[in-house]
Amino acid sequence: MKTKAFKGKIEVDEQITVRLGTNDGLTGYKIKKFQIISSTPGVTSSVEYVAKVYTVERSAVDALVDFNDPTLIAVVYYQDRANASSNTETIIIDNKIFNQDCYVTLDDSDGNTLAGNFYLELEQVSLTENEATVATLKDMRGRE
């Protein structure tokens, strides 16, 4: 199994495109790991991040978690209190295979604007032509 990792800084209310497209669409991806951390953990600002991964681009970024949305494939809730010795993190990842770009969003349910950092690890999966077609159509339509 081959994996691809993506990491970077993400601002609150930002959406980042993770480019995954291939010429033939026969490579699928499944999320293995998704994590978020404050750019200054435990220092001066408290954060309550809600980071999400979607299979379609979002028109707006928010902290709402709605698992009825089939395009939502991963969520991290990360809480870090200023000058505290601990933080909490809840991670939920769907087992869905996709073969198009995905989109990482970040919001802070506390209303803070401190940037965060994300780490996204994807497992590559070989797809047949039929599986690739189905995955592409699901991603385009935003359905399960």
Q: What is the pLDDT of residues 82-124, one digit of tens each?
A: 766 667 889 999 999 998 899 999 999 887 888 999 999 999 9
Residue 143 has pLDDT above 60, yes or no: no
Higher-confidence residue of 69 and 44: namely: 69
pLDDT score of 144: 46
Residue 45 has pLDDT above 70, yes or no: yes
In the chain, the percentage of residues whose pLDDT exceeds 90 is 58
Map tokens 């698992």 to a residue: 67
In the chain, which ranges are E strands? 3-10, 14-18, 27-38, 47-54, 72-80, 87-93, 102-108, 116-126
| The two structure tokens encoding residue 137 | 């159509």
pTM greater than 0.85 (yes/no): yes
Residue 134 CB partners (closer than 8 Å, separation 6+): none
End-to-end CA distance of the chain: 25
Residue 3 has pLDDT above 70, yes or no: yes
Other Cβ atoms within 10 Å of 137 Cβ, number: 10
- The three-state secondary structure class of 129 is helix
